[in-house]
Structure 1
C-alpha cells in the first residue's frame, strides 16, 4: 500500500452490498464467504513521502473477515 491510514475513518457510506457488488465471486473465492459490503469514507493518510492528506477511501468488508483491498480514490484537500 502506498499510504498509511492515520486515525479514524469518518463519513462512512454504503456503496453496494451482496449481489450488487461486481467482484462478489472473486471476494468469496479469495477471502471466504461472508456478508460482503463495499464502503467508502474519509480519512487522513500518510503518504510514502511523509505528507499527510485527507483522502476518500473505498474498501470491501465482511463480518468476521474485516476490511480488504483499501484503495485511495481522491484527495479532498
Structure 2
C-alpha cells in the first residue's frame, strides 16, 4: 500500500539495534554498513485514495544513510 507522510513522526521508539535486526545483512548489502536501527513512530499519512489518517509506521535507519524502507504497520483511526 502506497502512502505519503504528511506530518512529523512522533513517539519514536527503537525496536532493535545492530545484530538484533533480522534483516541486517540485507540492509548492509543494499545500503552499506552503518549502525542500523529499526524504529517505530506515529504520524499522519495520506493513502492512495486520498484518505487522511493516523498510523504507526516502522523503518530502518543508519547514521549517514538515513531512513530506509518505511512500512505502514497499523492505521489507528
Q: TM-score if structure 2 supplies the norm length?
A: 0.97
Distance in 1 between residues matched to 2:45 and 2:27, nearest whole Å: 25
Give 1:7 deviation, angstroms.
1.3
Q: What are the ranges of 5 or more consecutive residues in structure 1 without an aligned counterpart?
A: none
Listed as ranges, the matches of 1:1-77 within 5 Å are 2-77=2-77
* Greater share of residues in strand: 1
Q: What are the ranges of 5 or more consecutive residues in structure 2 without an aligned counterpart?
A: none
Q: TM-score if structure 1 supplies the norm length?
A: 0.97
CA deviations on 1:22-46 (whole Å, 9 max, x unpaired) are 1000000000010000000000000
**Hey, which bits of structure 1, 4+ residues long, moved more than 3 A?**
none
CA RMSD for the aligned pairs? Answer: 0.8
